[in-house]
Amino acid sequence: MRPAQLDIAIPDFPTEIEWINAQIVRAGTLLGRHAVLVWFWDYCSLNALRSLPYVREWDRRYRGHGLSVFGIHSPQFAFGRDRANVERAVERLEIEFPVAPDSDYEIWKAYGNEIWPALYLWDRRGVLRYYHFAEGAYDETERTIHELLLEIDEDLTLPEPMAPLRDTDAPGVLVRPPTPHVYLEEDRGGRPVAEDERLSVRYSGAGAAAVLDGRGEVEVILDGHRLRKIGLDWPRLYELTAHPTHGEHDLTLTFRAPATAYAFSFAPGVA
């Protein structure tokens, strides 16, 4: 989305932040030579993880052409404030761009942000030129990246924008929204689950995931049929089901060891 006003200056990052994949980052030092992409995410957000392959590839494609990508990890859950967990997620997800652990929401508040994921594009003058909230608009975003980089160097040769990675990502496609996130505690502190306890949810969508913490196995039952078993190892988002089309489904998790369940999330599908 193009901002209504084009005089919003890029906020600098707090100097006390200890970045992952970088030393001190000062946004002001990039002006004149770089376009800046700031991406708010959480490693337990299904929507952010579905957007990540695009952001990761834009960093790899355009890093040498003047684009600087910065990930701001603002956590939904208490364990996401643990730097070791964020570092593990960054490594597991093969993220190469700098990531700021924004555990106290300093950067989140400076931007007035309200959602995961959220993307902001700043030009070489430090002026906000584009933003997008939630998934989608990948082609439009990459074309805006091209525009800002060509303002820095009009002789650049840039690749065609990425092809959609999923049917739901194609420009102009009609997407059916899934069931909203289901948080198992209002304060997001998680729900303890005993051995052999079951959690069930009915959802509409093209897939399901859950934020879980614990050890041992969880049996996934979909529409009354045993689908698979997953092994819990550390607090994160676990993908449970995926469907070729949007539909209504009954999901049950049977825990074979004590654990903590935080939330269910669901993927959109093509209408």
Task: Please give the residue range of the domain that contains residue 182.
Answer: 176-270
Question: Same domain, yes or no, for 149 and 190?
Answer: no
Taking only the tens place, the pLDDT of each residue in 2-50 is 664 455 678 888 888 999 998 877 777 777 889 999 999 999 999 999 9
Taking only the tens place, the pLDDT of each residue in 197-248 is 999 999 999 999 999 999 999 999 999 999 999 999 999 999 999 998 999 9
Quick one: tokens of 169? 């990502």
Question: Same domain, yes or no, for 190 and 219?
Answer: yes
Instruction: Please indicate, yes or no, if residue 13 is contained in any of the structural domains.
Output: no
User: 268, 177 in Cβ contact below 8 A?
Assistant: yes
Question: Same domain, yes or no, for 262 and 180?
Answer: yes
**CA angle in degrees (0–180, nearest 5) for 250-254-257:** 160
Indicate which CATH number applies to the domain containing 116: 3.40.30.10
User: 115, 39 in Cβ contact below 8 A?
Assistant: no
Q: Which amino acid is at 157?
A: T
Question: Same domain, yes or no, for 79 and 124?
Answer: yes
Indicate which CATH number applies to the domain containing 254: 2.60.120.260
